[in-house]
Amino acid sequence: NAGVMQNPRHLVRRRGQEARLRCSPMKGHSHVYWYRQLPEEGLKFMVYLQKENIIDESGMPKERFSAEFPKEGPSILRIQQVVRGDSAAYFCASSTGTQKGDTQYFGPGTRLTVL
């Protein structure tokens, strides 16, 4: 059973460009979460999605950031007009649901560098 997959693993963008990060959940998982890890900090929640629905985006910056999880294909985290402060590791996790005890399994992350 393949784990959570993320690509690309490393992404370099210049200021003002767009970054697209992809996440394929574990087989059988329909819940996806995105977290951001800044240097020397823990993970901060960004957004929680189910297929075709955004459940909680309270951790997402109001501007430039968006996320989707279409019926077919991976979840996408999009950052428009990137700035240097967007440089971070972005992790995706998946789970079977939100019943008590559900474990979130994490992907290897995408490390975004903004020049």
Partner 1 sequence: AQSVAQPEDQVNVAEGNPLTVKCTYSVSGNPYLFWYVQYPNRGLQFLLKYITGDNLVKGSYGFEAEFNKSQTSFHLKKPSALVSDSALYFCAVRGSDRGSTLGRLYFGRGTQLTVWP
Distance, CA of 28 to chain centre: 18
Distance CA 114, CA 105 (A): 27
Query: CA 17, 79, 94, 91: dihedral to nearest 10 degrees?
Result: 70
- Of residues 7, 76, 106, 113, which one binds partner 1 by CB under 8 A? 106
**What does each C-alpha distance from 81 to 30, 74, 91, 92 come to in angstroms?**
29, 22, 20, 21
- Of residues 7, 17, 87, 104, which one binds partner 1 by CB under 8 A? 104
Least separation, in Å, of the C-beta of 66 and partner 1? 18
Q: Which of residues 53-72 bind partner 1 (CB under 8 A)?
A: 55-56, 58-59
The contact set with partner 1 (CB under 8 A) reads: 4, 6, 31, 33, 35, 40-45, 48, 55-56, 58-59, 91, 93, 95, 98, 100-101, 103-109, 111
